[in-house]
Amino acid sequence: MSISKPKAPTVLFVGDYNREDYVALLKLCKGDIHFKFLHFSSGTEEKSNYYRTFGNSIYWKDYTHAHDLLLKERPAKVVFLYIDTYFQVALNLACQELTIPTFHLEHGMLADYGIAFNPAVSYHPPVPALQRIASMAKKITQLYSRIKSKLFLHKTIRALSPENAAYLKDFITTKRKTLPLAAFRSLNSRRRLAESYISFSANVFKVRQKFDALPPDQKVTFIGVPYFDHLAGVLSAETEKAILLVDQPLAEQGLFRWNKGYKQQFMQHLITICEQQQLKLYVKPHPLQQVKPWLAAEKKGQCILLRDDDVAAKAASIPVVLGFYSTYLMPFAAFEHTTILTFENHPAGDFLVSRPFVDAGVAHPVYKPEDLEAALANIKELHQAQLPNKKKFEEDWLYKFDGRSGERLRNILLAKHI
């Protein structure tokens, strides 16, 4: 007589599951947990189907209100990547009323977003006319589902307790009038927070605590960084004469007043330096950036683009990593054989965005484009300066770099008690 495997519990995952890197946090949970993914009004907004290997998607439009959604889907737990949209706040309030455990899952190393949200420092790049037309046409096709989703929100307000309904209405009104960070702080309440936080490490959580205006007694568990489990244990191999750029969508998002022209200047300067110093240039693009300029450079033989698997294959042999501010810098800052350089020259000014890396002594900031050549020429001395600080950085920022972060996340989500 065969013993059947217990039915996998259902966990509701709330956040942008078009981001395959976010979904990849759940790799070690596959098969043990059935995930239901929730973020969009309808399936027409989905751009990736990677999530389907972990479960299925559901949509706001298909439910009367948040309580209806939770009672029909009956999740054992609800995991939020963030709780900052009207729908997410509404769902979180309903979870509190129905006593469904909620978690905020860390998904990246936060930069100084107070600067990034400042309109004097960052801006929203203009959208090309054809792209605007295409976006408007798509919104027209989604009109029915958007109306249904708005009804979901209004009916949720009526279904909530008077106190929670009043909070949700205040949140909607306030967020329409002000920046997200200001809204969080002016409506600082546990009603907006998940019951428990799952964070990478103590130092990563300190930044999150400031960003989300969390109370000092907020419950939190540290797990390490599941993104980098496959990089744990990487040891130095024969090094290439190469540099890896961990890129960011600065120009695409107008951060620190970057634009396409400034990005092109940066690219050309970096390519020229690499050619002069006979360095192979590897580039790891960010999921949200436009890769066409780098593809054009790759076609000319000026660089080589890497995907996640490629980075893992090259990690042991790359001696120098250049970045701006990225979660992806973290394992390289811990590797004993790598030297980290951070580019701090922005059109909006010389902001030390990568301060956590620099203050930890595992990165050297470059404030002027021409200083990059000097830093590369002095790379051995910079490496010796960073080497003694790497273990402490690993403990403070990565918690445990042992390849078991995903396992710890799975154990939390499977546990009967939080």
**Domain membership flag for residue 181:** yes
* Mean of pLDDT values over 26-33: 95
pLDDT class of 348 with cuts at 50, 70, 90: confident
Residue 141 is which amino acid?
T
**Domain membership flag for residue 387:** yes
Cα separation, 258 vs 262, in Å, equals 6
pLDDT of residue 349: 82
> Tell me, what DSSP letter sits at residue 52?
G
Same domain, 160 and 238: no
Cα separation, 176 vs 196, in Å, equals 27
| Per-residue pLDDT reduced to its tens digit, 224-280 | 999 999 999 888 888 899 999 999 998 988 888 899 999 999 999 999 999 999 999
pLDDT of residue 125: 74
Same domain, 256 and 216: no
Q: Are 252 and 332 in contact (CB under 8 A)?
A: no
Candidate from 4-8, 39-43, 50-54, 78-82 with smallest mean pLDDT: 4-8
Cα separation, 377 vs 371, in Å, equals 10
Q: In terms of C-beta distances under 8 Å and separation of at least 24 residues, what long-range contacts does 238-241 make, across chains too?
A: 238/317, 239/317, 239/318, 239/319, 239/337, 240/280, 240/314, 240/317, 240/318, 240/319, 241/278, 241/279, 241/280
CA distance to 129, 136, 231, 308, 413, per residue, from 416 (Å): 52, 45, 30, 34, 8
Q: Residue 340: what are its φ and ψ, rounded to 5°? A: -105, 130
More confident residue, 396 or 149: 396
Q: Are 248 and 325 in contact (CB under 8 A)?
A: yes
More confident residue, 9 or 210: 9
Q: Residue 65: what are its φ and ψ, rounded to 5°? A: -160, 180
pLDDT class of 35 with cuts at 50, 70, 90: very high
Owning domain of residue 247: 233-398
Evaluate if residue 408 carries a pLDDT over 60. yes
**Domain membership flag for residue 1:** no
| Per-residue pLDDT reduced to its tens digit, 117-168 | 666 777 677 767 666 666 666 666 666 687 888 999 999 999 999 999 999 9
Same domain, 204 and 170: yes
Evaluate if residue 211 carries a pLDDT over 70. yes
Q: Taking CA 203 as the corner, what is the angle to CA 379 and CA 186, rounded to the nearest 5 degrees?
A: 125
> Which residue, 370, 270, 258, is CA-closest to 323?
270
CA distance to 190, 235, 287, per residue, from 393 (Å): 31, 17, 26
Cα separation, 236 vs 224, in Å, equals 22
pLDDT of residue 176: 83
CA distance to 30, 32, 414, per residue, from 9 (Å): 11, 8, 8
**Domain membership flag for residue 73:** yes
Q: Are 215 and 190 in contact (CB under 8 A)?
A: yes
Give me 303's structure tokens.
């660089």
pTM of the model: 0.90
Average pLDDT, the chain: 90
% of the chain surpassing 70 pLDDT: 90
pLDDT of residue 84: 87
pLDDT class of 1 with cuts at 50, 70, 90: very low
**Domain membership flag for residue 14:** yes
pLDDT of residue 219: 96
Same domain, 207 and 280: no
- How many Cβ atoms are within 10 Å of 71's Cβ, its own excluded? 14
* Mean of pLDDT values over 65-82: 97
**Domain membership flag for residue 2:** no
Same domain, 216 and 253: no
Instruction: Please give the radius of gyration of the chain, using alpha carbons only, rounded to the nearest integer.
Output: 23
The set of residues, in sequence order, having a beta carbon less than 8 Å from that of 363 and lying 6+ positions away, is 329, 333, 340, 341, 342, 354, 357, 386
Which three-class secondary structure state does DSSP give residue 207?
A: helix
Write the CATH number for 367. Answer: 3.40.50.2000
Evaluate if residue 210 carries a pLDDT over 90. no
% of the chain surpassing 90 pLDDT: 70
Evaluate if residue 14 carries a pLDDT over 90. yes
Give me 180's structure tokens.
């997200």
Evaluate if residue 2 carries a pLDDT over 60. no
- How many Cβ atoms are within 10 Å of 193's Cβ, its own excluded? 22
Residue 153, CB half-sphere, CA atoms under 13 Å: how many?
15
- How many Cβ atoms are within 10 Å of 400's Cβ, its own excluded? 17
Which three-class secondary structure state does DSSP give residue 9?
A: coil
Give me 371's structure tokens.
């200083």
> Which residue, 35, 23, 107, 42, is CA-closest to 73?
35
Same domain, 286 and 409: no
Give me 176's structure tokens.
């329409």
Same domain, 36 and 179: yes
**Domain membership flag for residue 83:** yes
Same domain, 272 and 178: no
* Count of structural domains within the chain: 2
**Domain membership flag for residue 4:** no
| Per-residue pLDDT reduced to its tens digit, 187-198 | 788 898 999 999
Same domain, 271 and 193: no
pLDDT of residue 141: 63
> Which residue, 308, 317, 363, 358, is CA-closest to 341?
363
Which three-class secondary structure state does DSSP give residue 33?
A: strand
pLDDT of residue 188: 80
pLDDT of residue 234: 86
pLDDT class of 311 with cuts at 50, 70, 90: very high
Same domain, 256 and 207: no
Evaluate if residue 212 carries a pLDDT over 70. yes
What are residue 320's DSSP bridge partners? Answer: 243, 339
Same domain, 224 and 94: yes
pLDDT of residue 177: 78
Write the CATH number for 155. Answer: 3.40.50
Same domain, 306 and 242: yes
